[in-house]
Amino acid sequence: MHILIGLIILVIGAFIVIKSEAMLNAFGRIEFFERQLGGEGGSRLGYKLLGLLAIFIGMLIMTNMIGGFLEWVLWPILKYNKVEQ
């Protein structure tokens, strides 16, 4: 089941990257991306970055590596949560 979910997320991410101009026309400019990534093309780049993030997460889910990745990313927070016996 995780292969199917990961593949769906991957395809959605690829669609966002390929059709970033259509996403911009449909949803408009995002002020955060415009301010942080540049004046004219910031929203397009932001949509592409969101699409790449979706592709990355889709690949992690599809290969069932999402748990290990989240554990690695959250390790600085989780290491203080362990109960010593």
Q: Is the pLDDT of residue 85 over 60?
A: no
Handedness of CA 46, 47, 49, 50 (dihedral sign): positive
> Is there a domain that residue 84 lies in?
no
Structural domain includes residue 70: yes
Comparing 11 with 37, the larger pLDDT belongs to 11
The pLDDT, as a whole number, for residue 83 is: 64
Domain count, the chain: 1
Mean pLDDT for all residues in the chain: 88
Residue 37: domain span: 2-78
* Domain annotation covers residue 27: yes
Q: Average of pLDDT values for 8-15?
A: 95
pLDDT in tens, 33-62: 888 887 777 888 889 999 999 999 999 999
Q: Is residue 42 part of a domain?
A: yes
Q: Is residue 83 part of a domain?
A: no
Q: Please, are residues 58 and 6 in contact by the beta-carbon 8 Å criterion? A: yes
Q: Whole-angstrom Cα distance, residue 7 to residue 21?
A: 23
Residue 70 has pLDDT above 60, yes or no: yes
Single pTM value for the model: 0.80
